[in-house]
Structure 1
């Protein structure tokens, strides 16, 4: 899930798990498991040393692998940052989907849970997401990936609200674009301290409820 805006973006309730890398040689892992280990190690480097210290060479050292292994997975530092950007957001999306996938609910209850869960998730991993995003500032790749992540969130909103859709054909997706934009702005206000969590959640739920009404 994309972070609320490019200036503020998705801290976790208990930060995303990132194991402290070992200085001993890494054992051979399947390719996907190695990728996950490298991304987790990259996140540790950012938290411990700052984004400037996240280089492919430093990642190889901290992960206990050779440089060619890191280059094979990411190619360039920009490629690494893009994958880390996606990975952090994927963790939040997973948390969002898990929270919404419980028992069947009515429309009002679903909207309230949607608003609460989104605001909560959109203020998760803010520091990490923002730090990686800042390291990518100005890159065309960041703009493209940010839009990709935003589109994914819109589709999630459509899926959650579809059972209650009484709008003209195609209208729900358009309104979900507006809902997500409002959620991003409210989450940003929460991070800045302009609103508290309860206020942001209540306002967001009201906006969604009003937006679901046929006109």
Structure 2
């Protein structure tokens, strides 16, 4: 059902997604969709979680191949972030926007950001002389910068390769010894 929901968002936008449209697209009865997700917000949260899980897995996989060098680690982090965005398309921002104002969404996003930040900190800590709290805050800022750069890239203002290069440089300069 999540594949069908993602197709609706991709083809018609997040506003067109409801449990009724999902049931029709997925070829299931309305009660099945309601039993599985309960609410539209529940469905959107499940989609958002799926996308975030993909982001995190791509990052973990990339870092698993990283040589022990800051520039290479920064490059892998940057490529993983922007390649994942390119592969997932515009659905993630649309789903996130549809959930704005939801307390549950805010809590879920916070937990996902914390996980992503933790992964970044663990990967960058060997290359940094920053105290643990300062490194974490630096990673928070870097992730915010990545999101801003991603918006520029998604709006067609910069090329993906430029986004990757700039973010990689920011990472290396921010935590380098």
Aligned residues of 2:14 and 2:98 also touching (Cα < 8 A): yes
Q: Over aligned residues, Cα RMSD in angstroms? A: 2.3
Aligned residues of 2:142 and 2:170 also touching (Cα < 8 A): yes
User: 1:103, CA displacement in angstroms?
Assistant: 5.0
Aligned residues of 1:136 and 1:142 also touching (Cα < 8 A): yes
1:147 aligns with 2:110: yes
Name the structure, 1 or 2, with higher relative contact order (CA <8 Å, separation 6+): 1
* CA distance, structure 2, for counterparts of residue 182 and residue 209 of structure 1: 13
Aligned to 2:29: 66
TM-score of the superposed pair, with normalisation by structure 2: 0.83
Where do residues 87-166 of structure 1 align in structure 2 (5 Å cutoff)? 87-102=50-65, 104-166=67-129
1:200 aligns with 2:163: yes
Larger radius of gyration between Structure 1 and Structure 2:
1
TM-score of the superposed pair, with normalisation by structure 1: 0.70
Moved more, 130-139 or 70-79: 130-139
* CA distance, structure 1, for counterparts of residue 73 and residue 110 of structure 2: 26
Aligned to 1:179: 142
Aligned residues of 1:92 and 1:124 also touching (Cα < 8 A): no
Where do residues 32-43 of structure 1 align in structure 2 (5 Å cutoff)? 38-43=1-6
More helix by share: 2
Unmatched 5+ stretches in structure 1: 1-37
Unmatched 5+ stretches in structure 2: none
CA deviations on 1:30-65 (whole Å, 9 max, x unpaired) are xxxxxxxx1112112223444343222332233233
* CA distance, structure 1, for counterparts of residue 135 and residue 148 of structure 2: 20
SS at match of 2:90: helix
